[in-house]
């Protein structure tokens, strides 16, 4: 199976990059499935229902969120009815929405997507490792799903790497989101699971992790509250990864970085 995984969409420039590139990439790379993290798509904080629908219309199969899941309150009734939009699975019981979605492709193949949120330097949620263990007790790679994808939304690289090794051999891929900087450690772990610590940001990299530089610099230099952070709105780099899995085992054949447009050096994996 051929899969595109996109990192955090940030603001208008990130949304437009995704909306413009996803249809073309689906065609050029014969993509079977697309997952997009969009928790920063609405002015850098949260996701609006109209934006979610536009991404689905452009070809996203599943959208993941993160620690900014509830910044746009109108997403709460939307996520209750739209199962393809998922938030971290380790939110407490009773939180709106779901943390995993089992998608059925037209040819009958099934893809399970789940997101967990880390706890180091993040909100103190339930244990992400235990939450995924409980999910995998119900779903087995190659049995209930031909592909299993895990998005680990976390601050600490150590926690993300531990998460990858914890589920190596039982899922197709573990890829990180949240820090907005693409890492260069795309690899297939010993058990056959594809891994990357962070997919990076889909947004303007002439910025401080997607936000306009002046306000961010003032916060660091003056250590005083200042103007509200706003997304940088220059040309965006689309950042993510191209994943190919084995149809027989569900494990990874290859994972490669993908970067298009904007300031970062372009990398387009071969189709």
Which pLDDT tens digit goes with each residue over 62-88? 999 999 999 999 999 999 999 999 999
- Decide: 111 and 105 in contact? Cβ < 8 Å: yes
- Residue 120 pLDDT level (bands cut at 50, 70, 90): very high
What are the phi and psi torsion angles at 175 (to 5°)?
-130, 145
> Per-residue pLDDT averaged across 105-112, rounded?
97
Domain 2-260 CATH superfamily: Metallo-dependent phosphatases (3.60.21.10)
State the angle between helix axes of 49-58 and 11-28 in degrees (0 to 180), rounded to the nearest 10: 20
Q: Tokens in use for 210? A: 């997607």
pTM comes to 0.96
User: So what's the pLDDT on residue 225?
Assistant: 73
Tell me the average pLDDT across 96-115.
Answer: 97
> Which two structure tokens, joined as six digits, stand for 128?
């992400």
Q: Which among 115, 26, 13, 19 is positioned nearest to 62, based on CA atoms?
A: 115
Residue 262 has pLDDT above 90, yes or no: yes
Instruction: Give per-residue burial for 2-40: e unless 16+ CB within 10 Å, then b.
Output: bbbbbbbbbbbbbbbbbbebbeebbeebebbbbbbbbbb
Measured distance CA(109)–CA(124) in Å, rounded: 36
Nearest C-alpha neighbor of 51 from the set 64, 41, 62, 40: 41
Active-site position among 21, 29, 43, 68: 68
Respond yes or no: is residue 68 known to be catalytic: yes
SS3 category, 117? strand
Mean pLDDT score of the chain, rounded to an integer? 96
End-to-end CA distance of the chain: 12
Question: What's the mean pLDDT in 249-269?
Answer: 97
Exposure string over 132-150, b if 16+ CB within 10 A, otherwise e: beebbeebebeeebbbbbb
Q: What is the pLDDT of residues 144-185, one digit of tens each?
A: 999 999 999 999 999 999 999 999 999 999 999 999 999 999
Calpha distance 160→197 (Å, rounded): 6
What is the arithmetic mean of pLDDT over 35-57? 96
User: In this prediction, what percent of the chain has a pLDDT beyond 90?
Assistant: 94
In terms of Cα–Cα distance, which of 51, 61, 52 is closest to 22?
61
């Amino acid at each position: 199976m051929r899969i595109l995984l996109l990192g955090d969409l940030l603001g208008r420039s990130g949304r437009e990059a995704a909306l413009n590139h996803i249809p073309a990439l689906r065609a050029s790379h014969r993509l079977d499935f697309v997952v997009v993290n969009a928790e920063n798509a609405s002015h850098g904080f949260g996701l609006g229902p109209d934006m979610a629908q536009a991404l689905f219309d452009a070809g996203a199969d599943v959208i993941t969120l993160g620690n900014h899941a509830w910044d746009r309150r109108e997403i709460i009734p939307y996520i209750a009815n739209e199962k393809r939009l998922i938030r971290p699975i380790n939110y407490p019981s009773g939180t709106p929405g779901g943390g995993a979605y089992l998608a059925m492709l037209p040819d009958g193949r099934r893809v399970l997507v789940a997101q967990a949120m880390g706890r180091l330097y993040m909100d103190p949620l339930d244990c992400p490792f235990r939450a995924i263990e409980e999910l995998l007790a119900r779903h087995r790679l190659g049995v209930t799903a031909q592909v299993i994808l895990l998005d680990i939304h976390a601050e600490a690289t150590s926690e993300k790497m531990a998460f990858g090794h914890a589920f190596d051999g039982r899922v197709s891929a573990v890829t990180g989101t949240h820090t907005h900087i693409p890492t260069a450690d795309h690899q297939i772990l010993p058990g056959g699971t594809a891994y990357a610590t962070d997919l990076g940001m889909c947004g303007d990299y002439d910025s401080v992790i997607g936000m306009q530089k002046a306000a961010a610099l003032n916060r660091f230099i003056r250590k005083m509250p200042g103007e509200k952070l706003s997304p940088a709105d220059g040309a965006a780099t689309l950042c993510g990864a191209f994943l190919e899995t084995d149809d027989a085992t569900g494990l990874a054949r290859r994972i490669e970085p993908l970067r298009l447009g904007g300031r970062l050096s372009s990398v387009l994996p071969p189709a």
